[in-house]
Chains A and B, each alone.
Chain A
Amino acid sequence: MDLRYTDEQLVFREEVRQWLVQHVPAKPLPSFDTAEGFEAHRQWERTLSKGNWGMVTWPEAYGGRGCDLIQWLIFEEEYYRAGAPLRVNQNGIFLLGPTLMEYGTEAQKARFIPAMAQGEEIWAQGWSEPNAGSDMAAIRCSAVRDGDEFIINGQKIWSTRAVYADWVFGLFRSDPDSERHHGLSKILVPLDAEGITVRPISQLNGLPGFAEIFFDDVRVPAFNLLGGEGEGWRIAMATAGFERGLMLRSPARFQQASKRLVELYRSRQHEVLDPFVEESVLRCYMDAEAYALSTYQTASLLCNGGSIGPEASCNKIFWSELDLLIHETAMTLLGARAEIEPETDKDVAELGMWLDGFLFAQSGPIYAGTNEIQRNIIAERMLGMPRK
């Protein structure tokens, strides 16, 4: 155990910091769930990519820097410290990217990864269906092989970013006689293909952050099959592993939010406060740091050649409940003014963006596998409790 950064890591941090100081937009971008904001965020992805900062862990040949996971954590710390825009292509870079690296052919990597890194192709995800939510193995959306094409029919729902995205990756039933997690395939589909209808769904904040996607005889080349036909479940589990395990919510996000929470608390100390709020502030700060320490532990383990086990399911519960507590506590500190939607710069200075984050935090315990499903996984696979 050596909890000191190496000189090389300190130099790397400084390099990231300097670049961000010069490039992060002075004013926050509009939400990426608006047409204008989406394009602004796409532009930011291009800027990142020009500096080779799109995804630092990827090989240089794909626009990355070949960084290890400790450097990735340092990058993320600086990224959130700088208040840089959220990653509109997170479905691509954090979820599909690692899967492509592991399961994609060389031709697929060459086709999809550079465009993803450069922000030219933004990705949506297509897991859930109206009757396949937590029970993802109930997927019915079909992909029937026809020569060197698949013909896709059915419906996906809760597809994050699908309203403005360019592509969707998803799980489809390629063997019509199959049941449950057999006979599924992971297929990449351009959202401008003929036969696709995207119907936006407004989220709690009124913006269309996700959508329903209807597939009506949509033809995609067999080239877009990721991994083997019928291998979709195994590959999807790998993606879900990345999502839960490490990349989707880096600790820096919560550490930065907790820092702002402490600042808000300091500024409100002269007010009459809910006496329970002090403990919540402490807990948020400590838990964000605990999440960081745990992630450093996991990253070190992976750097040393180890692998992630079923305990990774704890992550999702921990950070999503932490995010709720951070924002609930901020709303408590803002008191009766918490309901006001900030409209002017003065509002933002006074109220921050806590309301926005508070609404978004409600989704954390639901997406990427509900926390109830995670608790089942922990009980059964980590603790060894009986399934039935």
Chain B
Amino acid sequence: MDATFTDDQRAFAEATRAVLLGEVTADRIRARWQTPTGQDPTLLDELQALGLNGMLVPEALGGLGLGETDFVLMAQACGHVALPEPVVEQAMVAVPLLVDSLERGLGDGSVQTVLDGVQQGATRVAVGHPINAVINFAAGADWFLLGAGEGLYLVPVDQVAVAPRRSMDPSRRIAEVDFDEGEDFCLARGDAGAELWRATLNRGALANAAQLVGLAESMVEQAVRYTQERHQFGRAVGANQAVKHLLADVAVQIEYAKPVVYRAAYAVEVSPGRADFAVSHAKIAATRAAKLAARHCIQAHGAMGYTWECDLQIWVKRSWALAREWGDDGFHKNRIHEWLLRPKALLGPDFTFGRHSIAEAHNAEEERV
């Protein structure tokens, strides 16, 4: 039992964070809003060089063979800078779904081709899970992993109708997509498809939970800075207890969302198909922290917090969007609710980590993680 990260995991996340903090500033995010693609190709090359896309690919398939516990701090760092590019979605959601498909021998070689392309940075894949209304950066994708019912399809861009929509978050280039559910592009259907989509939903929700924690941390840092600089009644606004307590309340929620998100990363790594409870808990906790951060940090900024000019809006709007993607609160709370009502649910202080261990769970019906 060791609930901490290794030195290597911390060091890699720190290195990624350093690159991101240097390259992804609010000014440069705003500059992207004016471009047709909304993406920074130089930055994408730089992140590609860090090898993020291959981190969760097994070594046998040319990747680094790492797991979600290795990646979760990276996702948090991407959230912290409000990274517009869908790096986390690509590496933590699309790539593992391709790997899952490949390991089950699905497709006719197209999966391998696409995975290789993604690892080389030459190909972009977007994921359209049935639970999501839109796809982020669909316009930049070469391939789509799309769902219809329980079916999973790998579809080239020329077979997909992409209808762009405007997001409240100008960094998100969202679109609705449509495609013909032909045999040609079908990877799986029925139970096999459902299983792949279920694991993918858990990975997507985990990816968003980790980013929401990073977003919340950054919002608090911005509000702390602002309330130190802004003076009223002859002193810093942040010296007032009423303001301190607003931000302390957020800090508490962040502090208790983090270990929940990290446990979910572990559960997804060990068994993504049985990680429902841990993932839903993580998404709910991270959403709560980020929504509270958005509300209290806008308040701490006073009227500035309600302006287009104030950079806080970048983080606030991302939080509001990510909170509802990969299952909103209603979806995840219902999953927890359903589980708590099961007669065989393993409840109580001795089952925080399941029956003895997550890996040795005897009964999926009882499994809590």
A residues contacting B by CB (< 8 A) are 1-6, 9-10, 13, 70, 76-78, 80-81, 251-252, 255-256, 259, 262-263, 266, 269, 278-279, 281-282, 285-287, 289-294, 296-297, 299-301, 303-304, 306, 311, 314, 317-318, 372, 374-376, 378-380, 382-388
Most buried by A among B5, B220, B244, B359: B244
Query: Is A286 a contact partner of B252 (Cβ separation < 8 A)?
Result: no
Determine the distance from Cα of A148 to Cα of B220 in the docked complex, in whole angstroms: 53
Contact with A along B221-258 (1 / 0, CB 8 A): 00010011000000110110101110111011001111
- From A294, A306, A380, A382, B256 is in contact (CB under 8 Å) with A294
Is B120 in the interface zone, CB < 8 Å from A? no
- From A262, A289, A306, A378, B252 is in contact (CB under 8 Å) with A378
Query: Is B341 a contact partner of A266 (Cβ separation < 8 A)?
Result: yes
Is B3 in the interface zone, CB < 8 Å from A? yes
**What are 18 pairs between A and B in contact, CB < 8 Å?**
A3-B3, A4-B359, A5-B357, A6-B1, A77-B350, A77-B352, A81-B348, A256-B348, A259-B348, A285-B340, A293-B263, A300-B2, A300-B3, A304-B2, A314-B251, A374-B248, A383-B244, A385-B228
Query: Is B353 a contact partner of A80 (Cβ separation < 8 A)?
Result: no
- Note all chain B residues with C-beta closer than 8 A to A291: 256
Task: Name the distance in Å between A357's Cβ and chain B's nearest Cβ.
Answer: 16
- From A80, A282, A292, A304, B352 is in contact (CB under 8 Å) with A292
- Note all chain A residues with C-beta closer than 8 A to B357: 3-5
Is B104 in the interface zone, CB < 8 Å from A? no
Determine the distance from Cα of A251 to Cα of B340 in the docked complex, in whole angstroms: 19
Query: Is B356 a contact partner of A2 (Cβ separation < 8 A)?
Result: no
Which 5 pairs across A and B sit closest by C-beta, in order of nearness? A379-B244, A4-B357, A255-B349, A252-B349, A293-B259
- Note all chain B residues with C-beta closer than 8 A to A306: 4
Most buried by B among A76, A306, A375: A375
Query: Is A278 a contact partner of B251 (Cβ separation < 8 A)?
Result: no
Query: Is A251 a contact partner of B349 (Cβ separation < 8 A)?
Result: yes
Contact with A along B351-369 (1 / 0, CB 8 A): 0110011111000000000
Query: Is B352 a contact partner of A287 (Cβ separation < 8 A)?
Result: no
Is B337 in the interface zone, CB < 8 Å from A? yes
Is B17 in the interface zone, CB < 8 Å from A? no
Determine the distance from Cα of A383 to Cα of B285 in the docked complex, in whole angstroms: 21
- From A256, A290, A376, B257 is in contact (CB under 8 Å) with A290
Query: Is A279 a contact partner of B333 (Cβ separation < 8 A)?
Result: yes
Is B260 in the interface zone, CB < 8 Å from A? yes
- Note all chain A residues with C-beta closer than 8 A to B1: 2-6, 9, 70, 296, 300
5 further A-B pairs in the complex, CB-CB below 8 A; given A3-B266, A290-B259, A290-B260? A6-B1, A282-B337, A372-B245, A375-B241, A383-B251
Query: Is A1 a contact partner of B266 (Cβ separation < 8 A)?
Result: yes
Number of interface residues of B (CB under 8 A): 53
Is B196 in the interface zone, CB < 8 Å from A? no
Is B347 in the interface zone, CB < 8 Å from A? yes
Contacts A286-B285, A293-B263, A294-B256 given; does A2 touch B2 at CB 8 Å: yes
Task: Name the distance in Å between B140's Cβ and chain A's nearest Cβ.
Answer: 34
Most buried by B among A3, A70, A263: A3
- Note all chain B residues with C-beta closer than 8 A to A296: 1, 3, 259, 352
Determine the distance from Cα of A297 to Cα of B353 in the docked complex, in whole angstroms: 13
- From A70, A251, A372, B241 is in contact (CB under 8 Å) with A372
- From A282, A300, A378, A379, B340 is in contact (CB under 8 Å) with A282
Query: Is A385 a contact partner of B4 (Cβ separation < 8 A)?
Result: no
Task: Name the distance in Å between B196's Cβ and chain A's nearest Cβ.
Answer: 25
Determine the distance from Cα of A10 to Cα of B1 in the docked complex, in whole angstroms: 11
- Note all chain B residues with C-beta closer than 8 A to A6: 1
Contacts A1-B262, A279-B333, A282-B340 given; does A289 touch B228 at CB 8 Å: no
